């Protein structure tokens, strides 16, 4: 089952999340913008609330004062009409009161006036208003409060005009008695248009100023953060160049501040590391040259000694028993000495970078058969039967036949050496991309700590244990180097008392790196002190097992 295409939104979110994790400048800038927006928004709301409250309080006080004076004037006009002696119609009195109050409003009018009948069935009672103001401008709750309390009441409302206009405002009402007409209610309607305009102006000003302030703070955050991030990025770039072998790279030192001291300290550290690395490289070069020179120089006297030893070994039947035994021991040790010189020369080629591959198409199953046949006499002497299982056809790969044969022989020699006479199992498998060989023994095994050194040169888990196969201690190291040349993978597994396993994985094509293996190592042990280790393209899965050589004990 294959996964479908990734949705664009998910890809965008992944890119944004990746940028957020990787960029300190982005995180600081966005955090500053968000916090600035919250602070400016809170301060803007607080300021708008204070200004709005102040404007409304002022408008409320002015309206109440004006309404109180107007109510007194209306009551005076109503009383005067009642005591004037002449008969005046209620409509005339209502018109007089409304006209008098409207004249006080000024031009343009600061308020509107409604004089409404207080009778519930006030049909036929004259009602008047100024400037086409509608009765709907007075909320029913306010009319009920005026009628119920018989005193002045007020509320915020929406002033509605008969021509369709509306405006926010304050409605103030009070009871009024008009002779001959009964109870009335006088309402003052004060539009808050000016206050609303002021609030809109302040709101827009706060929004514009707040946005500019947030952007300015973001720009300041970018500038300030860049001053810190730039030296850090420079240090990261220099460190990357340093890790790639450009030991002369240094940070630029500017000023005398903390960042300048950091750059100076970084450069001092880099200079110290460069000096130590160069000294180690020189020492390593001397050591490699020494090994190479000694190995080559020993070839000539060894050849002479070998010729003499061969003569003695062929004539050993003519000697007495002690002399014949000495000739045999001499031959055996010379064989071991030649093997050691051969391995040292091979290691020196790797150290000098002179090792190359002679590629050919190799059948790993046939190579495993050849390796098993070459070690069969040794396996029979040790009592370790070797079995072969091949799964998957074909098991061919582009590799160097000589080096692959040497890898398999070294792995089998190691298994026989430490197999304690138990069976040894060799498994070969393949898939479309890689070919793998697993060599498994059931001998003494390898502990977790020992796995970290299993490929070290000349390393033994138990140096005191006598060797019986005459190994040089460089077999697994050379196997690892041969695997590296093939861009393959050599992994190790072991548990004390349960045996060990080595898994060789080679790519089918020489120009492709190994990404997986057709075979798997045994599962990790449950014990805390035993765990698998591996090398991937020459790098171990264990933190300390990335080095070169050594047979496990």
* DSSP letter string, 295-313: HHHHHHHHHHHHHHHHHHH
Q: Does 258-350 carry CATH code 1.10.10.10?
A: no
Looking at residue 150, the DSSP 8-state letter turns out to be -
* Residue count (the chain): 553
Share of the chain above pLDDT 90, in %: 9
Instruction: Answer whether residue 461 shows pLDDT above 80.
Output: no
DSSP 476-506: HHHHHHHHHHTT-EEEEEEETTTEEEEEEEE
Task: Tell whether the torsion through CA atoms of 174, 178, 183 and 187 is positive or negative.
Answer: negative
Q: Please tell me whether residue 233 adopts helix, strand or coil conformation.
A: helix
Rounded Cα–Cα distance for residues 431 and 299 (Å): 44
Q: What is the pLDDT of residue 545?
A: 33
pTM comes to 0.48
Residue range(s) in the chain whose domain bears CATH number 3.30.450.20: 8-247
Rg (CA), the chain: 50
Question: What b/e sequence results for 272-286 when a residue is b if at least 16 CB atoms lie within 10 Å of its CB, and e otherwise?
Answer: eebeeeeeeeeeeee
**pLDDT bracket for residue 540 (50, 70, 90):** very low
Q: In the CATH scheme, what is the code of domain 356-540? A: 3.30.565.10
Arithmetic mean of pLDDT, 172-189: 85
Residue range(s) in the chain whose domain bears CATH number 3.30.565.10: 356-540
Q: CATH for 8-247, among 3.30.450.20, 3.40.50.280, 3.30.200.20, 3.30.530.20?
A: 3.30.450.20
Residue range(s) in the chain whose domain bears CATH number 1.10.287.130: 258-350
Q: Which of 1-5, 331-335, 471-475, 549-553 has the highest mean pLDDT?
A: 331-335
Which residue, 493, 491, 505, 494, is CA-closest to 535?
Answer: 491
Q: Is the bond preceding residue 442 a cis peptide, omega within 30 degrees?
A: no
Instruction: Answer whether residue 551 shows pLDDT above 70.
Output: no
pLDDT tens digits for 3-40?
555 566 667 777 777 777 777 777 888 888 888 888 88
Place of tokens 């006479």: 421
Q: Which residues have a Cβ under 8 Å from the Cβ of 178 and sit 6 or more positions away?
A: 78, 81, 90, 93, 94, 97, 184
Place of tokens 């770039």: 237
Share of the chain above pLDDT 70, in %: 85
Q: Which residues have a Cβ under 8 Å from the Cβ of 385 and sit 6 or more positions away?
A: 379, 423, 424
The β-bridge relationship of strands 424-430 and 434-440 is antiparallel
Higher-confidence position of 289 and 426: 426
Instruction: Answer whether residue 503 shows pLDDT above 90.
Output: yes
Q: What is the pLDDT of residue 464?
A: 47
Average pLDDT across the chain, whole number: 80
């Amino acid at each position: 089952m294959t996964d479908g295409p990734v949705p664009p939104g998910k890809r965008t979110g992944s890119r944004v999340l990746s940028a957020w994790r990787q960029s300190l400048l982005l995180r600081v800038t966005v955090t500053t913008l968000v916090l600035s927006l919250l602070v400016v928004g809170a301060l803007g709301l607080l300021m708008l609330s204070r200004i709005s409250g102040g404007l409304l309080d002022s408008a409320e006080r002015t309206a109440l004062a004006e309404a109180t004076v107007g109510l007194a004037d209306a009551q005076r006009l109503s009383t005067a009409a009642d005591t004037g002696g002449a008969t005046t119609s209620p409509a005339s009195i209502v018109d007089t009161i409304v006209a008098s109050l409207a004249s006080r409003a000024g031009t343009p009018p600061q308020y509107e006036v409604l004089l409404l009948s207080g009778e519930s069935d006030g049909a036929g009672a004259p009602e008047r208003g100024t400037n086409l103001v509608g009765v709907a401008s007075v909320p029913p709750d306010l009319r009920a409060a005026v009628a119920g309390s018989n005193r002045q009441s007020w509320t915020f409302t929406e002033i509605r005009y008969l021509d369709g206009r509306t405006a926010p405002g304050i409605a103030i009402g009070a009871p009024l008695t008009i002779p001959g007409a009964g109870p009335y209610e006088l309402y003052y309607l004060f539009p808050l248009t000016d206050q609303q305009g002021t609030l809109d102006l302040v709101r827009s000003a706060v929004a514009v100023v707040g946005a500019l302030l947030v952007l300015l703070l973001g720009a300041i955050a970018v500038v300030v953060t860049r001053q810190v991030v730039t030296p850090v990025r420079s240090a990261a770039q220099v460190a990357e160049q340093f890790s790639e072998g450009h030991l002369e790279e240094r940070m630029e030192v500017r000023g005398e501040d903390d960042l300048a001291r950091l750059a100076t300290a970084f450069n001092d550290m880099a200079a110290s590391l460069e000096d130590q690395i160069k000294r180690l490289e020189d020492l390593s070069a001397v050591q490699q040259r020494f090994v190479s020179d000694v190995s080559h120089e020993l070839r000539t006297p060894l050849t002479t000694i070998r010729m003499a030893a061969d003569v003695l070994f062929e004539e050993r039947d003519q000697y007495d028993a002690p002399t014949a035994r000495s000739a045999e021991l001499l031959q055996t040790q010379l064989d071991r000495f030649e093997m050691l010189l051969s391995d040292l020369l091979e290691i020196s080629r790797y150290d000098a970078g002179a090792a190359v591959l002679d590629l050919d198409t190799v059948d790993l199953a046939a190579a495993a058969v050849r390796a098993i046949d070459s070690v069969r006499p040794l396996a029979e002497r040790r009592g370790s039967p070797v079995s072969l299982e091949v799964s998957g056809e074909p098991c061919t790969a582009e590799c160097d036949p000589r080096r692959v044969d040497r890898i398999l022989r070294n792995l089998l020699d190691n298994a026989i050496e430490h197999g304690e006479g138990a069976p040894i199992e060799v498994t070969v498998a393949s898939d479309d991309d890689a070919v793998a060989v697993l060599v498994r023994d059931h001998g003494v095994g390898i502990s977790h700590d020992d796995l970290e050194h299993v490929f070290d040169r000349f390393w033994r888990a138990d140096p005191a244990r006598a060797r019986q196969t005459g190994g040089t201690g460089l077999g697994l190291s050379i196997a690892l180097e041969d695997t590296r040349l093939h861009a393959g993978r050599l992994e190790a597994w072991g548990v004390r008392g349960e045996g060990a396993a080595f898994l060789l994985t080679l790519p089918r094509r020489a120009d492709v790196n190994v990404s997986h293996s057709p075979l798997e190592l045994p599962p990790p042990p449950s014990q805390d002190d035993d765990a698998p280790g591996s090398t991937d393209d020459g790098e171990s899965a264990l933190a300390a097992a990335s080095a070169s050589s050594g047979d496990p004990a």
